[in-house]
Amino acid sequence: MSLTDKNGQKFSPGFLKRFDEGAFWESYVATVLSRNGLYVLHEPTHLGETVDKNKSYSCDLQVSMDPMLEVSIPVEVKSKNLRFGDSFADYPDADIKVCSQKWFLKNWPGYDCTGRDFLFVSTKTNSILWLPQGTKVQLGVESFDKYYGYTETWATARADQLQPLSSFVAMVKAADPWSVYAKA
């Protein structure tokens, strides 16, 4: 059974499953970040929604030290059905699939590096690794997805560019717009 949105766009059961799983892992990452003292906004996602790149919430999460989120860092969350720990050395492949090439080119046409921070979460271990904004990517890497049965073209990055979640948390805390008041 497929689902049709208000605009007549159809979504397959496989897509809906991935959509729901993605929302679950985004919420999980938001909870972990909150436990680390960060303010996080997990925007609701609607099927068939057109992304407005001019709005800061056209991302999975907004992360900040600012409780009002007036100054925040947009973050993409990607769940990986792989076993890895808290270090790039634990990542099982030399490269990481950042996102589909189609999605990358739609969001950052003409660029060869990530336009946002990415957090990758292992669905096997719950570990989270950070790929910083500005990391160089390689486009045109094809891979066959055995689970879903199709070939996808990816934007990939070297796995040795991954950093532990603690480094991401430290970066956000260092960018704290309110820290000047805390020192007064």
pLDDT digits (tens, 9 = 90+) for 107-166: 889 999 999 999 999 999 999 999 999 999 999 999 887 777 888 899 999 999 999 999
Q: What is the pLDDT of residues 16-38, one digit of tens each?
A: 787 788 889 999 999 999 999 99
Q: What is the pLDDT of residues 54-106, one digit of tens each?
A: 444 468 898 988 887 777 889 999 999 999 999 999 999 999 999 999 989 98
Domain 3-93+116-135+160-175 bears CATH identifier 3.40.1350:
yes
- pTM of the predicted model as reported, rounded to 2 decimal places: 0.84
Closest CA to 128 of 95, 174, 82: 82
Q: Are 97 and 55 in contact (CB under 8 A)?
A: no
pLDDT number for residue 36: 96
Distance CA 91, CA 85 (A): 7
Give the residue with greater pLDDT, 169 vs 48. Answer: 169
pLDDT number for residue 45: 67
Distance CA 91, CA 162 (A): 9
Give the strands of the sheet with 138-145, arranged side by side.
Answer: 95-100, 150-158, 138-145
